[in-house]
Amino acid sequence: MDRRTLMIGAGALVLASGAGMVSFGGRGGDVPDLGAANAQQAGDVDISGIVEMAMGPEDAPVTVIEYASFTCPHCASFHVGPGARLKSEYVDTGKVRFIYRDVYFDRPGLWASMVARCEPDRFFGITDMLYKQQRDWIGDGQPAAIAENLRKIGRVAGLSDEQLDTCLSDAEKAQALVAWFQQNAEADQIESTPSLVINGEKHSNMSWNDLKAIIDEQLGE
């Protein structure tokens, strides 16, 4: 389990932050800072436009909600391990409805989410790239390099420079995403990543065998 815990209090997420925008220069160089996104109480922000990213039939007998951060190494391990088997053996076969919910520990995680969400139909494809290439795009942690690496992933996924400029400079969307995350995390009492909510019951990170056993029990198999 990722030991970076979520500190949510008084409607404000306690994270490293600055003010306004972070400028990296060049085309589309202004990327929202998490400090600006945290400026308002979650209840004051309109989150109605945030799309719930999901796979599998809505009437599937089991619903699995994953809370994860694109900068969380344990989330990347879950994605390529248990998460991949969950998709192939249960989501693709119609037994599980899978919902992915973003967690924001830091600015790069927010930026990655904004790239992934640039076109909802491409979300899970970009998510796969972000987790499999996590070490590469995070690199040595320099903001300018991370922003450019995320743009490269977006381009490979078929997004244009104009789309990436628009998505990465949308401060209102960034604020709404953080407020949406705060609301979900508080409601489900999420404290670390990855966390799973399976048919309403919260679980921490686990092996594939443990996850499979819980889902099979819910399916009555």
Instruction: Indicate the pTM of the whole model.
Output: 0.84
- The continuous run of DSSP H or E covering 161 comes out as helix 161-168
Q: Strand pairing of 195-198 and 201-204?
A: antiparallel
**pLDDT tens profile 98-150:** 999 999 988 899 999 999 999 999 999 999 999 999 999 999 999 999 999 99
d(CA 46, CA 68): 22
pLDDT for 43 equals 58
Burial of 169 (0-12, 13-18, 19+ CB in 10 A): middle
| pLDDT value at residue 24 | 32
Question: Residue 139 pairs with which residues in a beta bridge?
Answer: none
**Going from the N-terminus, what domains does the chain have, and what CATH number goes with each?**
20-219 (3.40.30.10)
Burial of 119 by CB count in 10 Å (0-12 exposed, 13-18 middle, 19+ buried)? middle
DSSP 107-152: HHHHHHHHHHTSSGGGHHHHHHHHHHTHHHHHTT--HHHHHHHHHH
Give the span between the Cα atoms of 95 and 56, in whole angstroms.
8
Residue 151 has a pLDDT of 95
Q: Which residues of the chain have pLDDT under 70?
A: 1-43
Q: What is the mean pLDDT of the chain?
A: 85
